[in-house]
Amino acid sequence: MTDTVILSAQDLAEITGGTWSVTSNIPEFLRISVNAKEIQPGDLLITTNLEQWPASRTSSETQRVLDKVATMGAAALIRKESTLGGANVLRVENTYGALQAIANAVRDKSTAQRILVTGTEGKTGFKVLFAHLTSEQVSLNTKLDSKNMDIGIHLTLANTKQRHQISLIEVAVPHLKYGKRRSHIVKPNLCVITEIGYEHLAKHGSVENLIAAKASVVAGLQANGCCLVKSDPRYYQKLRGHILAYGDIPIVTFGHNADDYAQLLNADFDSELLGWEVKVRIETEQYHYFLPALEEHAPLSSVGVLAAISLMGLDLSEAVQRFTSYQPFQTSGRFYELAVHAGSYSIYDQSFRSSVLGIIDFFKVAARLKPRSGGQKILVLGPVYDEQEYGSIIWELLPPSYLGDLIQQAQFDKIYTIGNPDDFQECLQGVTAPRRHFLHPKEAVHPLTEYLRANDLLMIKGDKLDEMILISTMLREQA
């Protein structure tokens, strides 16, 4: 087989301390997996159990699962010592330990450079854009979803192939100790911190602790490596101090400043083409490109990606040419059309994820967008003031009066709010648009269906955890 896992069957036995049930004709493996429900032909499945796997809710070490996996064409299994049957089985004492050992061995054997990306926001967007811009000049190993905790990190490392030149690994850092540990798992050659927002602030306890946690990803940075960060005046000096606490680590910045390694020189929004005309400087060279994205932060975020591409020694001129075919990932929001009556209406769908900085960004986008001739601009706004996520400081981070000003400036013709009505009373006091309120997203779907007409612009802001994604999902199904 081609494009197989770096480690041979013999390597796997030695690394895990396991024993194969057969000693010859063991096939090569196309992928290492831990999900029995998504098994593919050629997979090496590592089974899970409740005793050894952190936070595991189900076990795949049952005869029923093993029989099903065999019929799906899995090349082999790694499972705990037991009496369960099955051909091509590598029996080990600890299957989670086996995954860790395999990931470490592949990481150390591979010649791929490793990029660790973290931040409170922008991690997945960074991966998606980096992958798109470099797809024609480098073989990249990454997962474009948000599986960014220990198991996902180990799996990404374990699936590094011989052809891969770069592994791009997203890492969640809910606490300083996790950042340190996961950095030592990845052993990055480049650390990227995309943004310091306020998500999970209640868990961190303070903004200072949050910044220290993000900085901890440099703990495992390899020799000659560096850390790429945004020169945001809100937090840069504190972030820099926490990074340098781990040693004399080179810090590379992107931002608006003349002394940044990568600088955003200019960004003009084109309301017809729905994107940005962007001019940047990377080191001493300038580049101009059209970025098909709506978000206020998109131009500067793209500068960060170009900076990382440059630091990895790739061709920036070739990368810049690929901006025109870029499509944002669903976590960044989508703009699309849905049929209605004798025409269609537009949706700017940001129902996947909500955050303080994201909400501010959303309404700045809303102020620039207009419906087509004869249409109305309609807002659906989900829960905003989540004290469980941010603590009571959320009311200071996003003052209701400021949010109200943003909403009013966007000039909506109709507003639908979802959730606790008390959360919207103060912020909507000065807003003149007529509005309706619903306790649950599903309740708003039928009224929206009845109200929407051709050429309207519907803008949805919310979080999938509040089930706001149900609104756009149900509207698409009806259309």
Looking at the fold, whether 288 and 370 belong to one and the same domain comes out as: no
> In whole angstroms, what is the distance from residue 435 CA to residue 286 CA?
47
The confidence score (pLDDT) of residue 60 equals: 82
406-418 burial, b if ≥16 CB within 10 A, otherwise e? bbbebebebbbbb
Domain stop point among 274, 299, 325: 325
Q: How many CB atoms lie within 10 A of CB 404?
A: 17
* 289 alpha carbon, distance to own chain's centre: 24
User: If you search the block for the tokens 């940001």, which residue do you land on?
Assistant: 350
> What domain range includes position 14?
9-95
Q: How many CB atoms lie within 10 A of CB 59?
A: 16
Q: Residues 6 or more apart from 25 whose CB is under 8 A from it?
A: none
Smallest CA-to-CA distance from 284 within 297, 267, 265 is with 265
Looking at the fold, whether 163 and 264 belong to one and the same domain comes out as: yes
* 108 alpha carbon, distance to own chain's centre: 26
The confidence score (pLDDT) of residue 63 equals: 79
Under 8 Å between Cβ of 190 and 308: yes
Which residues are registered as beta bridge partners of 252? 228
Looking at the fold, whether 71 and 119 belong to one and the same domain comes out as: no
Amino acid 363 reads F
Question: Mind giving me the DSSP string for 155-168?
Answer: HHHHT-BTT-SEEE
Domain stop point among 60, 95, 130: 95
In a domain, 103, yes or no: no
Looking at the fold, whether 36 and 140 belong to one and the same domain comes out as: no
Q: What are phi and psi of 117, to 5 degrees?
A: -120, 130
The confidence score (pLDDT) of residue 223 equals: 95
**Total domains in the fold of the chain:** 3
Amino acid 379 reads L
Under 8 Å between Cβ of 343 and 429: no
- In this structure, what DSSP letter does residue 88 have? S
Q: Residues 6 or more apart from 476 whose CB is under 8 A from it?
A: 338
Q: Residues 6 or more apart from 373 whose CB is under 8 A from it?
A: 455
The confidence score (pLDDT) of residue 330 equals: 64
The confidence score (pLDDT) of residue 331 equals: 65
Looking at the fold, whether 423 and 382 belong to one and the same domain comes out as: yes
- Alpha-carbon dihedral sign for residues 304, 308, 309, 313: positive
The structure tokens listed for 367 are: 């102020």
CATH number at residue 64: 3.40.1390.10
Phi-psi region for residue 247, left (φ > 0), alpha (ψ -120 to 50) or beta? left
The confidence score (pLDDT) of residue 213 equals: 95
The structure tokens listed for 148 are: 């960014």
Q: How many CB atoms lie within 10 A of CB 2?
A: 8
17-54 burial, b if ≥16 CB within 10 A, otherwise e? ebebeeeeebebbbbbbbebeebeebbbbbbbbeebbe
Domain stop point among 271, 291, 325: 325
Looking at the fold, whether 410 and 359 belong to one and the same domain comes out as: yes
The confidence score (pLDDT) of residue 1 equals: 43
> In whole angstroms, what is the distance from residue 325 CA to residue 320 CA?
11
> In whole angstroms, what is the distance from residue 58 CA to residue 55 CA?
9
The structure tokens listed for 301 are: 């975020």
The confidence score (pLDDT) of residue 54 equals: 84
Looking at the fold, whether 310 and 208 belong to one and the same domain comes out as: yes
Looking at the fold, whether 319 and 348 belong to one and the same domain comes out as: no
C-alpha separations of 24 from 10, 111, 312, 465 in Å: 10, 29, 41, 49
CATH number at residue 447: 3.90.190.20
Looking at the fold, whether 256 and 357 belong to one and the same domain comes out as: no
Under 8 Å between Cβ of 314 and 437: no
Looking at the fold, whether 61 and 142 belong to one and the same domain comes out as: no
The confidence score (pLDDT) of residue 24 equals: 74
The structure tokens listed for 396 are: 């200071």
> In whole angstroms, what is the distance from residue 99 CA to residue 109 CA?
15
- In which residue ranges of the chain is pLDDT below 50? 1
Q: What is the pTM of this model?
A: 0.92
